[in-house]
Structure 1
Amino acid sequence: MEEIVIDGSNTILGRLASNVAKILLEGKRVVVINSEKIVVSGEPSKLIQFYKDTILNVKSHYSHKWRPKRARSPTRLFKKTVAGMLPKNNKKGEDALKRLTVFVGIPNKYKNKQAIKLQEISADKLGRKYTTLNVIAEQLGWKVSMIEQ
């Protein structure tokens, strides 16, 4: 099975996720590196508040220990975005999501491989404010020091 390595640094979240979803549905494996550098367009304070409202404020009748755990790391946030663009409740979408691997930084296994940099979805063309998944994840409680060890 063909494996495609994509560099996520300085690319727009939604556009990258839709491109990755299309590749996954073709039956190829996709590895996304530098997921912490993926860009989300919009006012940073509004974006952070939106993610806090939708991810952290989970209503539950049960104890907080039993409520659903939400994604806080950049890898999980990106995977959840791609999952929203794949078919739901069928085998094709499940299999496609299993073929996706997302990393923070560049693991040793992929240092020597040529990563594809998608120029057409680069954040350089954005004419507005933006923030990265790293900043959003830190505000949600993601511990950066865990990956640096």
Structure 2
Amino acid sequence: MLLAGGEAREIVIDGTGMIMGRLASVVAKLLLAGWRVNVVNAEKIVLSGDPRMVVESYRTTVLGVKSHFSHKWRPKRPRTPQRLFKHAVRGMLPKNKARGRRALARLRVYVGVPDELKGRELVRFPEADASRLSSHYIELGAVARQLGWKGGVEK
């Protein structure tokens, strides 16, 4: 989408200390409204709940796929923080619709802050802030490491 001046509406969101589900719903609404969304510091997004239970539920859904066939034919499940967050946003967009596919194409998720986005204003949403949580939460980077993420930057 272009504004009257001809520039694209773009926003850079800092994921540090944000609750994943609440942040994903805000991002999905922005994408459907036509915004280009860049989410930085994806490894610092938090998931609420007992850390052991959160990791165990992700293990059963991501790693617990049983198949007698070759691993080539199994469903590909996200294991990196970027892909885990993008998968959460994808679940909040229209399924099998061109509108949802175009919206998801406008989303970029990064571990850390890439060089091209340094110096830009980072936006935070108070409704998704983790300060409202009690002590029971875990960062997305820790969940990804439990699933096999090595901690590097995905290319």
Please state which band the TM-score falls in when normalised by the shorter chain. Answer: over 0.9
CA RMSD in angstroms, aligned pairs only: 1.3
> SS of the residue aligned with 1:81?
helix
| 1:137, distance to aligned residue in structure 2 (A) | 0.1
1:57 equivalent among 64, 71, 83: 64
5+ residue gaps, structure 1, are none
Residue 93 of structure 2 corresponds to residue 98 of structure 1: no
2:118 equivalent among 111, 135, 144: 111
State how far apart, in whole Å, the 1-side matches of 2:107 and 2:25 are.
Answer: 13
Q: Does structure 1 retain, via aligned residues, the 8 Å contact 2:22–2:127?
A: no
Tell me the alpha carbon deviations over residues 48-78 of structure 1, each in whole angstroms, 9 at most, x when there is no partner. Answer: 0000000011132311243222100000000
Aligned residue type for 2:74 = R
Matched-pair identity in %: 54
Residue 47 of structure 2 corresponds to residue 40 of structure 1: yes
After the TM superposition, which parts of structure 1 deviate over 2 Å for at least 4 consecutive aligned residues?
none
Residue 136 of structure 2 corresponds to residue 129 of structure 1: yes
5+ residue gaps, structure 2, are 1-7
1:141 equivalent among 136, 142, 148: 148
Aligned residue type for 2:147 = L
> SS of the residue aligned with 1:147?
coil
How many residues are paired up?
147
